[in-house]
Structure 1
Amino acid sequence: MNSGPLGGTPLDPDAPEARRWLQDELAKTEYQNARPNAFDLAMQAIRDWFVSLFEGATGLPGPLLTLLGVVVVAVVVVVGLLVFGVPRLRRRRRAPAPLFDDADRRDLETLRRAAAAAAAAGDWPLAIEERFRALARGMVERDLIRVHPGTTARGVADAATAPFPRHEHALRAAAADFDAVRYLGRAGTSERYDALTDLEGALARAAPVTQVPA
């Protein structure tokens, strides 16, 4: 048996000694750092999966296979966003703002039906009030105005004049009608209700001058 340069260490060790030498060598830092980590293994698994998709395709160069793999990943990401991202964004939409300090969060169509029902019953004060609420809610739902605690009918009319300047006079008259039946106990009339209904419908169909909320 030959001797090594360091203290007569044998150069032709038996099997157990050789195994120990190999274990000691592999335990060195440079070998440990070269081992693939979890990310490397995951990327290798994904690469192998993509390659397996095209195993039957002959004549396709490597770069084309890579490009096809990237396209597949992009499609998966887009589909995931459409399926899972959009519902989350919808759920995050803020709750409807209450109108005129009485926690009224009804939507536009509900308010329109309430106004029409009150008008059919000849209850003009309630019909006018509900129709003006529908006008305000329609503006809010279109992000044309914002309402806050304390916003009055006059405040709604002032804010709505910015996107609809041609309707300034009618908006102020509608706000006055709302205040008259809600706070002053006025009876209202079918003519004033009809005028307010026409205004609400015209604004709903009209294109605003500006999309910036007041």
Structure 2
Amino acid sequence: MTVVAAGAIALLDDVGRDEARRRAIEELVKPEYQQESLLERFYRMFREFLDSLLDSTPGGVPGGVLALLVVLLIVAALVVLVVWRARKATGARRAAAEGLFGPKARTAGEHRAEAERLAGESRWAEAVQERLRAIARDLEDRAIVAPQPGRTADELAVTAGRELPSLAPALAAAARLFDDVTYGQAPGTAEGYRSMSDLDADVRAARPAAAGVS
């Protein structure tokens, strides 16, 4: 009798599993699941996860205060991630709109002095930006490159590299470093600033190729 009962229970368990599997498959092949985006799918899975936590114990408090804190931390982390990405995108758009020289017009000497001040405060990313601006303004003042509103660091490197071919690789590297700290949110380093300062000195001592031929 016991064997028969056990066999019946096992049969019912198998039927239950098969039925649950069948229903799950039918649910997943519904059109709304096939058409949902990755973001919608993530939101649905997260919502189902929260629902399972809330339903796991009576009273709607899953596992006590600790589980509730975990849920709140997850939500807070998602909010911080969204805000950080939005600020990063806004900063990149603002920097691109301002161009190479930024919002304030300065002389080469003023850019250079500001770069040194920022370097003294270990604000390396901003110091790198100001040093390349000093290089760009110096090149314009000496008529090695023509002034061009909205010029990017890459465009400066290409134009100046044609006039100063021996410094073309260093100019290209400086433009990449400027882009990294300006648009890529790289922190900047003391080594990067030193390389930019060395390039500044080399540019100030260099003569355009056309002048050398003459």
Q: TM-score, normalised by structure 2?
A: 0.50
Cα deviation, residue 103, structure 1: 4.2
Q: Can you list the C-alpha shifts for 1:93-137, whole angstroms capped at 9, x where unaligned?
A: xxxxx9627443200110000000000100000000000000100
Q: Can you list the C-alpha shifts for 1:169-188, whole angstroms capped at 9, x where unaligned?
A: 11000000101111111001
Distance 1:157 1:130, change over 3 A: same
CA contact (8 A) 2:101 2:133 kept: no
Cα deviation, residue 147, structure 1: 3.3
Counterpart for residue 180 of structure 1: 180
CA contact (8 A) 1:99 1:147 kept: no
The range that moved more, 199-208 or 102-111, is: 102-111
Q: Does 1:201 align with 2:201?
A: yes
Q: Does 1:131 align with 2:125?
A: no
CA distance in 1 between counterparts of 2:117 and 2:104 reads 18
User: Percent identity over the alignment?
Assistant: 32
Distance 1:197 1:145, change over 3 A: same
Counterpart for residue 107 of structure 1: 107
CA distance in 1 between counterparts of 2:159 and 2:203 reads 13
Judging by fraction of residues, say which structure has more helix.
2
Q: TM-score, normalised by structure 1?
A: 0.50
CA distance in 1 between counterparts of 2:105 and 2:210 reads 25
Larger radius of gyration between Structure 1 and Structure 2? 1
Counterpart for residue 153 of structure 2: 153
CA contact (8 A) 2:154 2:172 kept: yes
CA distance in 2 between counterparts of 1:121 and 1:209 reads 37
Cα deviation, residue 168, structure 1: 1.0
What SS is found at the alignment partner of 1:180? Answer: helix
Counterpart for residue 142 of structure 1: 142
Please give the residue correspondences for 1:87-102 in structure 2 after superposition, counting only pairs within 5 Å.
100=100, 102=102
Cα deviation, residue 152, structure 1: 0.5
Unaligned runs of 5+ in 1: 1-97
Amino acid at match of 2:208: P
What do you get for the CA RMSD once the two structures are aligned? 1.6
Give the number of equivalent residue pairs: 114
CA contact (8 A) 1:132 1:196 kept: yes
CA contact (8 A) 1:131 1:196 kept: yes
Distance 1:156 1:182, change over 3 A: same
CA contact (8 A) 1:163 1:208 kept: yes
Q: Can you list the C-alpha shifts for 1:132-190, whole angstroms capped at 9, x where unaligned?
A: 00010000000111232331100000010111101111100000010111111100111
Counterpart for residue 165 of structure 1: 165
CA contact (8 A) 1:99 1:133 kept: no
CA distance in 2 between counterparts of 1:157 and 1:179 reads 12
